[in-house]
Amino acid sequence: GSEELSYKLRLAVALLISGSNLFLLIALVSDYWINARNGLLYLGLWKGCNADVCVSQTGLVYAKVALITCFILALVFNAVTVLHFKYDFSTIPNFKRRIGWGMMAIGLFEFYGMAHGTAFLVVSPIFESVSWALILGWIAVVLAFAAGGVSYYHARREPEIPEPTTAPTSATNPVFITTEKDPPPSSIIVS
């Protein structure tokens, strides 16, 4: 029923965020973003290496900051979604929608970081071919957007707090407000 669907959607969001974090972490720590030529074997966000020595990659500051920040924020979101299995956060207004919006924002910044890093490395004159870590980084972006979308769908399907009703129900007595003034006193006694 509805409870089983809710469990499956929460599990899907937690797994998508976990997968996104795992792939983003692998992409962040790996140097295999592109296969290079002109003496370099491979190049990543942090360094490029040839057969003898590795050199530091000092560029791509904005891409590095964006991706590391997204990784840390997604870890927090991941912890919250996993804790949601033990503790009921459905009393928090728009909890699932907030997770969805947050993951969409994280996906957007991951997209920025990956696009910036990809453009910088692919347009470089030493580019030969794309390597596996770059592909995992882009998969992380897709999984972050998917986690946001599934969480937002879950919020639309099962809102945490029901919408308030404006019409009075039969269980409550409606209050009628009148605009008539109290009638004036019929006689005034002055002593």
Instruction: List per-block mean pLDDT (blocks of 10 residues) for the chain, which spans 191 residues.
Output: 86 96 96 87 90 87 94 94 83 87 96 94 90 96 97 87 57 61 62 60
In the chain, the number of structural domains is 1
- CA 99 – CA 95 distance, rounded (Å): 6
Q: What pLDDT is recorded for position 150?
A: 96
Q: What pLDDT is recorded for position 176?
A: 60
Q: Strand, helix or coil at 47?
A: strand
Q: What pLDDT is recorded for position 124?
A: 87
Q: What is the CATH number of the domain that holds 78?
A: 1.20.140.150
* 175 domain-assigned: no
Q: What pLDDT is recorded for position 169?
A: 57
Q: What pLDDT is recorded for position 103?
A: 95
* 54 domain-assigned: yes
**Domain region containing 12:** 2-157
* 191 domain-assigned: no
Q: Are 121 and 59 in contact (CB under 8 A)?
A: no
Whose structure tokens read 């769908």? 153
Residues 6+ apart with CB under 8 A from 162: none
Q: What pLDDT is recorded for position 16?
A: 97
* 178 domain-assigned: no
* 52 domain-assigned: yes
* 64 domain-assigned: yes
First to last CA, the chain: 78
Q: What pLDDT is recorded for position 177?
A: 62
* 127 domain-assigned: yes
* 60 domain-assigned: yes
Q: Strand, helix or coil at 44?
A: coil
